[in-house]
Structure 1
Amino acid sequence: MQFEVVRNDISNITVDAMVLPSNSKLKEGSGTSKAIFQKAGRKELEKACKEALKKYGQIHVGDAIPTLAFNLDAKFIIHSVVPKWVDGEHREYENLSAAYLSALKLADVMSCESIAFPLLASGNNGFDLQVAFEIAKESVQSFESSNKLKKVIIVLYDARSMAIARDQGISIEEIIDDRYILAEDQRQKLPAQQVINDGKDFAAKFLEDGLQMAKKYLDDPENRKKMIEGGIFIAKLAIKTVKKMK
C-alpha cells in the first residue's frame, strides 16, 4: 500500500475518501473540520450527519462514520471521532490510533482506493505533535488492505508538523506554503466533485453501495473491538518510538 506525506489544504485533495476529525455528535468544529464542512456544502453535510447519527446510534471516540462528500473532490467523507488530550491516562493514545484504523478499514470496506488524513488530534485536541505524527505513521503502516485500498496520504498543514516529519527523513511534497496559510481569503478552489465512470446514475449507485457496505460492517460490534485492540498495540509501539527519539 502506497503511503505519502504532503503539505496541502486537505479540502483540496482528490481522493476517494477524505477523513474529517470529528466529535461524537458529528458537529462542525474548527480548523480542518470547518474547512471540509464549508467546501463540502455545510447544509448538505449537516443533514447527512444528522441522518448518520440516527442510523448508527451512539458513536464513540475511535469510531469512524461515513457520509457522502458532496462538493468535495472525493466520494466519501469519513468522520473519524478523535480523542482530546487529558493527561495520557485516559486511553488517548489507543483511541487516536483506533480512529485511524477505523477510518482505514471503513475506506477499504467501501472499495475506496485512496484516502487522505489530516494529522488527527494535533490541533485544538491538544496532542503533542510528535506523538500525533508517530501514531499516524504507525497506524497507517500497520494496516493491511483486504479489498481495494491502495494509497494513504497524510496531509500536513503547519510548519511545525512539517519539521517533525522531515526530522524522520520523510520526503514531503509541498503543494502550499506559509503564504497560502496566511492568506485564507485567497485560497484556490478546485472544481467540484467529478462524476465518476459512465454517468450520474452509475455514480450514485456506486456511492450508495459503498454506504451500505459500511453500514453492514459497522453493525457488527466485534469490528469496533478489533480496532480498539489494534489501537492499543500501535499506541504502545508509537510511544516507545517517541521516547527513544527524545
Structure 2
Amino acid sequence: MIIGSTAIEAVEGNIVKMEFDAIVNAANSSLLGGGGVDGAIHRAAGKELVHECRLLGGCKTGQAKVTKGYDLPANWIIHTVGPVWRGGENGEAGQLASCYSESLSRAVEIGARTIGIPAISTGIFNYPLESAAQTAVATLSAFVEQHPEAFDRIALVCFDEQATEAFTKAMKAF
C-alpha cells in the first residue's frame, strides 16, 4: 500500500539480513537479548550491541530506544518492548500500537527513510497474529498520514508465510 510517498509492505524474510536505514527489534525490557527476533538481532549485530544496550537502562513496554546497527546491514536498531498477551483486556492493543508509533518516532528522529519492522509481540509474547497485524497496519497508516514525507519504505518483515499472509490481509482490509 502507498500513503503519500511511503510504501508500506509485508515481506517474508530474515530481518537481520535485509538492508534498511533502521530495523526494529522486538526486545524484552532489559534490552540485553533474548529469544526470537531479539536474539537473532543481538547475535547478528555483534558484542558491541549488548554493551550499548546496557547503557540505556532497559525500556518500558510500548516505548522505544535506539542503538547503532553494528554488524547488521542496518545503520540503526530501534528497540521496542511489546506487550505480553494476557487476553486482550489489559491494554495490550494500546501498548502494541505505541510500540509501532514510538518506533516510527525514533526513526524520524534519526533520519531513517527505510525501516524494517518485525511482527512485534507475536512470538513468545503470544499476541494473536491477526489482531497484531490489524493494529500494526492501522498505527503505521495513521503515523504516515501525519508525517507524509518522513519515510520512503516501511517493510513489515515477517518470519514465515502465515505472518506474511496476516499482514497482507490487514493491509488489503485497511
TM-score, normalized by the shorter chain, greater than 0.5: yes
> Out of 23, 47, 55, which is 2:51 matched to?
47
Amino acid corresponding to residue 83 of structure 2 in structure 1? P
Compute the TM-score of the two structures, normalised by the length of structure 2: 0.88
What is the rounded CA distance, in whole Å, between the counterparts of 1:7 and 1:148 in structure 2? Answer: 24
Q: Partner residue of 2:11? A: 6
What is the rounded CA distance, in whole Å, between the counterparts of 1:149 and 1:163 in structure 2? Answer: 23
**2:62–2:80 contact (8 Å) kept in structure 1:** yes
Q: Partner residue of 2:154? A: 152
Distance of aligned partners of 1:101 and 1:15 in 2 relative to their CA distance in 1, 3 Å threshold: same
Q: Partner residue of 1:111? A: 111
> Out of 23, 36, 39, which is 2:41 matched to?
36
**1:84–1:121 contact (8 Å) kept in structure 2:** yes
SS at match of 1:105: helix
What is the rounded CA distance, in whole Å, between the counterparts of 2:139 and 2:59 in structure 1? Answer: 21
Over aligned residue pairs, what C-alpha RMSD do you find? Answer: 2.0
Q: Partner residue of 1:217? A: none
**1:11–1:72 contact (8 Å) kept in structure 2:** yes
SS at match of 2:124: coil
1:89 Cα deviation (Å)? Answer: 1.7
Q: Render the CA deviation track for 1:208-244: whole Å, top value 9, x for unaligned.
A: xxxxxxxxxxxxxxxxxxxxxxxxxxxxxxxxx8xxx
Compute the TM-score of the two structures, normalised by the length of structure 1: 0.64
Amino acid corresponding to residue 33 of structure 2 in structure 1? E
SS at match of 1:100: helix
1:25 Cα deviation (Å)? Answer: 1.3
1:146 Cα deviation (Å)? Answer: 6.8
Matched residues, percent identical? Answer: 28
Query: Which ranges in structure 1 are unaligned for 5 or more consecutive residues?
Result: 171-240, 242-246
Q: How many residues align?
A: 167
**2:134–2:170 contact (8 Å) kept in structure 1:** no
Distance of aligned partners of 1:87 and 1:44 in 2 relative to their CA distance in 1, 3 Å threshold: same
Q: Which has the higher strand share?
A: 2
What is the rounded CA distance, in whole Å, between the counterparts of 1:166 and 1:3 in structure 2? Answer: 10
Q: Which runs of 4+ in 1 moved over 6 A?
A: none
What is the rounded CA distance, in whole Å, between the counterparts of 1:2 and 1:108 in structure 2? Answer: 16
**Bigger relative CO (Cα 8 Å, ≥ 6 apart):** 2
Query: Which ranges in structure 2 are unaligned for 5 or more consecutive residues?
Result: 1-5
Q: Render the CA deviation track for 1:33-72: whole Å, top value 9, x for unaligned.
A: 111111100x21110100122xxxx632100000000000
Q: Which has the higher helix share?
A: 1
1:156 Cα deviation (Å)? Answer: 0.8
**1:111–1:147 contact (8 Å) kept in structure 2:** no
What is the rounded CA distance, in whole Å, between the counterparts of 1:98 and 1:166 in structure 2? Answer: 21
1:165 Cα deviation (Å)? Answer: 3.6
